[in-house]
Structure 1
Amino acid sequence: MRSVIILGSTGSIGTQALDVIRANPRRFDVVGLAVGSNRAELERQAEEFGVEHTAVGIDEAVQLVRSVDADVVLNGITGSVGLGPTIATLERGMTLALANKESLIVGGDLVTRLAEPGQIVPVDSEHSAIAQALRSGTRDEVRRLVLTASGGPFRGRRREELVGVTPAEALAHPTWDMGLVVTTNSATLVNKGLEVIEAHLLFDVDYDRIDVVVHPQSIVHSMVEFVDGSTIAQASPPDMRLPISLGLDWPKRVGAVGRPLDWTTAQQWSFEPLDDEAFPAVRLAKQVGRAGGEYPAVFNAANEQAVAAFHAGRIGFTDIVETVRAVVDAHEAPTGALSVDSLAEAERIARAAADRRIEHAGRG
């Protein structure tokens, strides 16, 4: 039986992880739960799963990870605040089922240096798909990684058609049910840019060999192209419980988590090139990833401020990525070694710079 700590247990990832565990009670044992603030739901979950160790807030979550033994920690926290629990998990030698992509992206080399081979198991559907496909060949046989993107609610629109879109329209994702920030990031394709950086860090593949293709059906979750011309794709109906289950017991597969594709029904899958002019976030993310150091943290922090400003009606939709670009371009990274403190300071500077730009745009 695998013992599990779930961070962010009342969020989308956390509740679906509990669905997987509920369906497999003899396979998993929940030994710790942590939430941001929803104490009432935390208490209900703890009672249902017989959990003694719980935490509210990020500081308590870190202490939970440091004090409770587990086989795997599922980090389903949203945002770069998940960096502390990610580092604590790796330092204790426990398997990290990583849904909190921001902690890897912001932490960069700090995180990858701590991780033993195979210690980080990706939970994002795209990276889980790549991890599954990579089992079909050796590292030297990989030509490139291909991340699929649904295209979000504005797929096919030209840049000028995006200027006046509303927050409600940005949240109307055609496939996935996600939180405000992640859903908005999917609409701008910032989320896909973050996933490109994540793929580079997880699989140590150069950015020139990581591509994005638009696949609106969200059936093929990503692909690996090998040197002999073969492409291995992982396909399944869109359901996060599948990659979550793999994260909890990698590389073993878990039953009763999702439904298979229906091959008795006619269906069509389409793939389209990404329009970098309408959605420049992926190109910017590659630039940021190549720069490394503090720049991914700056990219992520500026984006979080811009998304909040968009939903508050202070800037337009296309201003989100333009704000991020301006902050990244203006940032001057220090020459010292990267540390948790330096990353926190870089984020603070980036948020302040984004706020100043947003305020100026509002006055204009």
Structure 2
Amino acid sequence: MKPNIKNIAVLTSGGDAPGMNACIRAVIRTGIYNGVNMFGVMHGYQGLINNNIIPMNARSVSNIIHLGGTILKTARCLEFKTDEGMETAYQNLKSQNIDGLIVIGGDGTFTGARNFSNKYDIPVIGIPGTIDNDLYGSDFTLGYDTAINTVIEAIDKIRDTADSHDRLFFIEVMGRDSGCIALRSAIASGAEAVLLPERFTSTHELITQLELGASTKKSSSIVIVSEGHKAGGAYDIAKSVKESFNHYDTKVTILGHLQRGGSPSSFDRILGSRLGFAAVNEMLKGNTRVMVGLRGNEINTTKIEDALKNHNFKLESDLLEMTKVLSI
């Protein structure tokens, strides 16, 4: 039997990602279209604990589809990991007669949703919102496409000055555990090398690759460094390379939180809309503890448990090979 869902709340948690607002908009309006009372939780799980839960209508999400960040704000909440914190959150949801919870975020967000739903048997649906693209069950996570485009735009501009001065640039991008941003931005920007958390590259290997470019009279070189590389960050790696390789003037750029901001791409606006629409419909059908995601061009569901269990999936082998083949 379908559950009697009358009130649904939505929250964003963890790191923000472009496209979250498009997703919030779709969640709110899909719920209202189906006769459901919709609520927004401010500041993620902290808002559940603080009872910062507000009713929302169709106009509450007007003119936000093009905005980066999240109008519901976001935060990391250690208190929600405790029994006391979850109990407070549950009582606050009960006080507003909320029947289901839709959460937008990454693995930490999903872990909290799974534990909360298991403890109190409240229906939850997850939407993958993280620029790292590291959740199993969706080919693309919300914000990933925009982040890559932001990185590529920055690299293109750095390439201009690198060529003008015969410089070697080390550019650090986000990705503590996942090299998805580094790998794709390296290929799209024509970088000479990429350093990933999933694959260790020694200083000797990197220098050999850079020397190959120097021998063919390249006027500049770009090395993309994922922040989670085992040899350290871009500054550490640049220092170790410069000691052995002084052909170029060496510079370092760390893109940092620039990658999280900005207006979402058309892809992320559509993806956020599709995922938000699907999340509400799945909850109304009686599904719970699943993540909605994109596989091919179809929206599918994956158990939240499976999305977390298979968190560290392998990077595409052809892309890994291309980073060397196309950089000669």
TM-score between the two structures when normalised by the length of structure 2: 0.34
Larger Rg: 2
TM-score between the two structures when normalised by the length of structure 1: 0.32
The answer to which structure, 1 or 2, has the higher relative contact order (CA under 8 A, 6+ apart) is 2
Write 1 or 2 for the structure with the bigger share of helix: 1
